[in-house]
Amino acid sequence: MVKNSKLSSKVLAFILAFAMMIGCMQSAVMASPTDESMDENGTEEQTKMGMVTSGQAGWVSGDIHNHSRYSDGSGTIFENFAQAQKVGMDFINISDHDNSRGWADAQVAGPQYNIIPIRGNEYSGYGHAVFMNVNQEKNYNAGVLPKAAIDNFKADTNGEGLAYAAHPYDGTVEADPWGKNDSWNADLDGIEVWNGWYASNYTANAKARVQWDILNNQGRHLYGIADTDTHSAAGIGSVYTTVYVDEYSVEGIVNGFKAGHMYGSNGPVIDFSVGSAMMGDDVAVPQEGKYVDVDLSGYCIEDLARVLLIKNGEIVYTKNIDAASFNETVEVFVNPGDFIRMEVEGKETATKKLTNGSYSTPAFDTSAPFAFSNPIFFFEQALDKTALNDKIAESELLNRFDYTHASWNDFQTALNEAKRVSLADETSQNEIDTALETLVAAINALKTPEIFTTVSSNGDGQAHIDFAIRSANGKDYTVWICEDYDGTYYLADANFNSQGAHVKSLTNGKTYYAYILYSDGAVFEESNVVILNPSI
C-alpha cells in the first residue's frame, strides 16, 4: 500500500553532489577535486571535495574490481586512479589476478589523485573471488579451491578481509563452478551481483541476483556488490558500489562494506529504509510477524522506468515511474527470517539496454540506468519480559485489604496469568504484551472500599460497625473477619440492626479486617471493608 510520494530528506541531501560527480553524468569532471587545508596540528592535508571530506561520515563510491598491467589489464595503476578521479570515484580496491603487486603504486597514486586506495586482489582459481582489505602480497590461487582460499585469506587478515564471489555465472571464464565443491558454503561476505562488463539484467548478472536471494533465503547474510571488472582505465567507475561510511578512510569504507550499508549503481541515487534501519541492517519483528513501512526513493539525471520491491526473492511491489525521481512508502508484512531489497530500472533507449553485453565488448557505455539496494533483514525479536516482570514485582507489594473483594479477585486472576507467562519457556512477545496490558488494566481497576474505623465500647471485646450496612430491607448480611493480616477469614459473631452490626468476641488491642457481604439469592456481592481497632 503506497502511503506518500514526498522525496526523503536523506536523498535530497546528497542528490546534487552525486548528480554532479557520477552516474548519468559521468562525463562531468569535478572542477576542484582537491583542497589543500591545514589540520589541527598545522600540517597540510588533502581532503575530498565531493560527498565527504577526510574523516567525515557520508556516502562514497568506488570500484572494487578492476585490473591493471600487474595482471591482464591494459592500464597502469596511475591511469586507473586518474580515471577514477575524472568520474568522481572516492576509492579503488585494486584487484589484479592473484596478486596485489600494484599496492606500492596505489599508495602513491591515491594521494596524487585524491582517491583512497584499498589493497585487494582477485582469487582466480576454480571460481573467482574479489578480495578486499588484503594485508600482504600473496597468491591465494595455489591449486586451492575457493572455500579453502577464502579460509586462508580470512585467517591471514584475522577476519578483517572481505571476500565476494566474482561473476559466478559468467560462462566465458574457464572452470567457474561456484555451485560445485561446496563453494557457496565458503566464508563469503557477499556476491558480485552486477559485474559491469555486462548490463545489469544480462543473464549472468540476473542469475547472480537469483542465487543471492536463494542463499539469503537459506539464512545467509550476504551482501551484493557492483563493479566494473574493467581491464582498461576507460571503464573505471562506470559501475560502482556506493557505501555509507562513518568515517571517510580505509577503515571506514571497509566497515561500511561489512555492515552492508551500500548499493550498486551506474547512475541512480537511491535510498531504502525501514524506520531508522538502512540497507544492510537487521530489524527485529515479533515471532508472529508484523507490517512494516518500507521507504523507497531515488533520483537520476535520466528518467527512470520503474521501481521494484523484492521480498525473499519475489517481487511484492512494482511501480512505473516515468520520471527522474520517485519516493514511495509501501506497507509489507514480514516474518522473522524474511528480507527485502529494492531495484530501480532506467529507461532503455536504442543504444542503452538493461541486457547488453558480450565478452568481447563490455557494456560500460551501453547499459541503461540501474541500481539495487542491499537487503534489510528481519529476525525474531528477543522476548522481552522486563516490563512484565517489573509489573509483577510491583503487584506483589499491594495489600489485598486495601481493595474491594471483587476487584482484588480480578486482579489476582490477571496476576496469576502474568506469572504463568513470565515463567513460560514457549511464549510470544504478543502474549507477553497482552499479559502486561491485562495486569495493568486490573491494577487500574482495583477499587478502594469505604473504610470504617470503629472502637469497641468500654473494652468489652465488641465493635459496632456504624452505617456499614445500608438498605437492609429484604436482605441478609454476614460479616467475615480476619486477624492481623493473616489472610484467614472466618464468620464473625455479629448482631445486626438497620444501621450496622455489633461484631463480638474480639480481642482488645488487635487489628481486625472485615468483609461485610450481603446475599441476593445465590449471589454474594461485596459491600465494604471495615477496619476494627478495638479498645483504642
By CB atoms closer than 10 A (0-12, 13-18, 19+), residue 56 is middle
Element (H, E) at 214: helix 203-217
What's the CATH number where 390 sits? 1.20.5
Predicted confidence (pLDDT) per residue in 123-176, tens digit: 998 889 999 999 999 999 988 889 999 999 999 999 999 999 999 998 665 444
Q: Is the pLDDT of residue 378 over 70?
A: yes
Q: With respect to residue 330, please indicate whether it lies within any of the assigned structural domains.
A: yes
Q: What is the mean pLDDT of residues 308-332?
A: 98
- Which cell numbers in the block locate residue 65? 574490481
pLDDT at position 170 is 83
Lowest mean pLDDT among 14-28, 70-84, 129-143: 14-28
- The set of residues, in sequence order, having a beta carbon less than 8 Å from that of 41 and lying 6+ positions away, is none
Is the same domain home to 273 and 125? yes
Q: How many domains does the chain have?
A: 3
Is the same domain home to 416 and 349? no
Is the same domain home to 393 and 423? yes
Q: What is the mean pLDDT of residues 358-375?
A: 94
pLDDT at position 54 is 67
Confidence of residue 335 (pLDDT cuts 50, 70, 90): very high
Q: Is the pLDDT of residue 228 over 60?
A: yes
Element (H, E) at 12: helix 9-21
Q: Which residue has the cell 575457493?
A: 146
Nearest-5° Cα angle at 150, 148 to 152: 70
Is the same domain home to 244 and 188? yes
pLDDT at position 16 is 40
**Residue 402, SS3 per DSSP:** helix
Domain span holding position 362: 9-34+49-380
Q: Is the pLDDT of residue 121 over 50?
A: yes
pLDDT at position 381 is 86
Is the same domain home to 369 and 391? no
**Residue 156, SS3 per DSSP:** helix
Q: With respect to residue 42, please indicate whether it lies within any of the assigned structural domains.
A: no
Distance between start and end Cα atoms, the chain: 72
Is the same domain home to 180 and 125? yes
- Which cell numbers in the block locate residue 30? 569535478
Is the same domain home to 414 and 493? no
Q: Which residue has the cell 564471489?
A: 165
CA–CA distance, 73 with 202 (Å, rounded to integer): 23
pLDDT at position 211 is 96
Dihedral angle at the C-alpha atoms of 204, 19, 48, 109, nearest 10 degrees? 40
Q: With respect to residue 1, please indicate whether it lies within any of the assigned structural domains.
A: no
Strands 269-274 and 376-380, bridge-based pairing: unpaired
Is the same domain home to 252 and 337? yes
Q: Does the predicted TM-score (pTM) go above 0.85?
A: no
CA–CA distance, 22 with 502 (Å, rounded to integer): 94
What's the CATH number where 299 sits? 3.20.20.140
Is the same domain home to 417 and 460? no
Q: With respect to residue 400, please indicate whether it lies within any of the assigned structural domains.
A: yes
Is the same domain home to 239 and 297? yes
Confidence of residue 277 (pLDDT cuts 50, 70, 90): very high
Is the same domain home to 335 and 420? no
Is the same domain home to 421 and 289? no
Element (H, E) at 453: strand 451-454
